[in-house]
Amino acid sequence: MSQRRAHVGARLKRRWLEFWGLVFFAGICINFAEIICRTLFHFSIDLMYDLPVWLTIWAVMMVAGPILPDGDHVSVDMLRNALPRPVRKVCDVISGLATVAFGVVISWSGFIFISQCLEFNMNIIRCVSVPRWLVESCVGLGMAMFTVFAVYRLWGVVRDKHAPEAAEPEE
């Protein structure tokens, strides 16, 4: 049963990443369309300039958490890999605690900002008025997911079930 649940989780993660990859791709397509409209037809819609940025930020924020447990984030492991195994685990725990703290602070501040956007009815005025909370909520939501996955990864490090060590290069 556990293996089946892991398979379903892996499929769900893959679909989640594919969906946000398509959102990112849509942002790129809109950006290219805006460039073509501006250079060939000498017109541009301001929403075509902003929408790719918003879609890109949404895509990045929504995948930041799910890729964390597998160690898919960019990191500098040169110092960590040079440490002996017990010290390396302490380094991983400290790093995990810092990651959780970062996620909590950014999530909390993101939710505070979203509540202010709602309270003051803030809008982004373009050719179409866009509610600011709609654009900005990716920070609170994405970092809340990031925090959950950071806690999951920290739990794996503490239980010593984190990702296998990278192979050392042969000299």
What pLDDT, on the 0 to 100 scale, is given for residue 73?
77
pLDDT of residue 170: 46
117 vs 82, more confident: 117
H or E element, residue 39: helix 2-40
Q: Over the stretch 6-33, which tens digit does the pLDDT of each residue have?
A: 788 899 999 999 999 999 999 999 999 9
The mean-pLDDT minimum among 85-89, 102-106, 146-150, 160-164 falls in: 160-164
pLDDT in tens, 110-168: 999 999 999 999 999 988 999 999 999 999 999 999 999 999 999 999 998 655 454 44
Among 33-42, 45-54, 94-103, 159-168, the range scoring the smallest mean pLDDT is 159-168
Q: Mean pLDDT for the chain?
A: 89
Span 78-88, mean pLDDT? 87
State residue 165's pLDDT score.
53
Q: What is the pLDDT of residue 1?
A: 60
What is the DSSP track for 91-128? HHHHHHHHHHHHHHHHHHHHHHHHHHHHHTT-EE-SSS
Three-state secondary structure call for residue 124: strand
pTM of this structure: 0.84
- The token pair at 141 is 């939501």
